[in-house]
Amino acid sequence: MQKGKRITRRRFIKGSIGAAAAFTIVPRHVLGGRGNTPPSETFGGALIGCGGRGNGTFGGLGPNVRKLAQCDVKFLTKADNKEIYADYRRLLERKDIDVVAIATPPGWHALISIAAMEAGKDVLCEKPMTRFIAEGRAIVEAQNRYKRIFQIGTYGRFGASGDKNRVLTHKIMASGLLKNCKGVHRKRGGLKVREWSGMVNAQPQPIPKALDWDMYCGPAPLRPYHPHRFGGSHRGYWDYEGGGLADMGQHHFDPIQWTFAKDYTSPVEIEPYTPPAHPEAVAMWGWVEMKYADGLTFVFESNEWGKPYGRKVERGVGLDDLSDQNRKKIAEMPDPEPLVRFPEAIRTRKQPGGHAEAGHRCATLLHLANAAIRTGRKLRYDPVAEQIIGDEYANRLVNQPMRAPWHL
């Protein structure tokens, strides 16, 4: 309350205006108004995963969310199960928490997201959305089942949806009028391939007392502790993530996927250029070409190993790719609806722009590329059944086993 506005009992009852005065002196922050949020639009929030991305991810919940609790497996010796937790399941039991931000390694994203939505919480989850493809479908099904708000923690599509040239491309691709798409989009470098490669000869180290290493590994195999498997460098191990490609790929391809209207499908052919992969540690690779059923091609190019990609020339999609009749149809099409951001979504209950299906399809790009890198061969994929075709070993990467008792 502002200085000079304090209401004492004596001032409250003084004078002839009586009860009417009570309504004229209610503080603005109680009723809302410019610069003030009423209690009905304030949410209780929690952060699960308090590493380097934690605070940034929580900030994406918006200004109307108050942090009531935080959880991390490194809080084992100071958890009080009131404001600090080491086990996310205890945190999710709280009824005063409406929204959770998840910033754990990706091996935990699906299980915690699903448990949070089942507990009635809305979810903002860091990228990459999942560690393997089947986890993404499970998140989509949970979002639909529990009618919660889910947003993946990357926001490039919101900027893309405001660019008139990208809106035009989106309309052309969404129209279905372009039957033989010659568009090629290349991502050159910036994928931190060497930076997030794993160690292949790490020696076991003592587990820090404050760290619940068993819980950190969770659904992944229980390997001996080494500090390189913990913190940001966890990205270098297939157990927890998929290297720099998974770390940076969803940031880059989220707006590209929206631009080319591919939020509800996936590539059908994936071809890699890569040396043999290590079974546990993510390592170097050259490029991966991914083609959709309509001919659209995406390329991940590391710029860190081997010869540059040179199979197809990069090109966009435009009205020149259409007949005169179809150009008129595009001109008559309305622009897509503005994308809803997460803070608005939790208030209005409209699904946000980076909803579960869109996030899942973007993460699928990363997982298919990594599956091709790990197998070292061309793969064919069914985007409806969400299965790799004719390659039993590669298809095992679509729905990977989890260590008991964890399961989707």
- Domain ranges (residues) in the chain: 9-154, 157-395
Fold exhibited by the domain 157-395: Dihydrodipicolinate Reductase; domain 2 (3.30.360)
Instruction: Output the 3-class SS for the chain.
Output: CCCCCCCCHHHHHCCCCCHHHHHHCCCHHHHCECCECCHHHCEEEEEECCCCCHHHHHHCCCCCEEEEEEECHHHCCCCCCCCEECCHHHHHCCCCCCEEEECCCHHHHHHHHHHHHHCCCEEEECCCCCCCHHHHHHHHHHHHHHCCCEEECCCHHHHHCCCHHHHHHHHHHHHCCCCCCCCEEEEECCCCCCCCCCCCCCCCCCCCCCCCHHHHHCCCCCCCCCHHHCHHHHHHECCCCCHHHHHHHHHHHHHHHHHCCCCCCCCCEEEEECCCCCCCECCCCCEEEEECCCCCEEEEECCCCCCCCCCCCCECCCHHHCCHHHHHHHHHCCCCCCCCCHHHHHHHCCCCCCCHHHHHHHHHHHHHHHHHHHHCCCEEEECCCCEEECCHHHHCCCCCCCCCCCCC
At 41, the pLDDT band (50, 70, 90 cuts) reads confident
Kindly tell me if the per-residue pLDDT of 22 is higher than 60: no
- Give the CB-side neighbour count of residue 170, counting CA atoms within 13 A: 20
Mean pLDDT (the chain) is: 92
**Per-residue pLDDT averaged across 263-274, rounded?**
98
Lowest mean pLDDT among 30-34, 223-227, 339-343: 30-34
Longest dimension (CA), the chain: 87
Give the mean model confidence (pLDDT) for residues 369-391.
98
Q: Is the pLDDT of residue 96 over 60?
A: yes
Q: What percent of the chain has pLDDT over 90?
A: 88
- pLDDT above 50 for 321: yes
- What number is the average pLDDT over the span 269-293? 98
- The token duo for 189 is 């470098």
**Cis status, amide bond into 128, omega within 30 of 0:** yes
Amino acid 19: pLDDT: 39
pLDDT at residue 312, rounded to an integer: 97
9-154: CATH architecture: 3-Layer(aba) Sandwich (3.40)
How large is the angle between the packed helices 133-146 and 356-375, nearest 10 degrees? 170
Query: pLDDT band at residue 228, thresholds of 50, 70 and 90?
Result: very high
Closest listed residue to residue 398, CA positions, set 300, 302, 383, 215: 383
Contact 359, 136 (CB under 8 A): yes
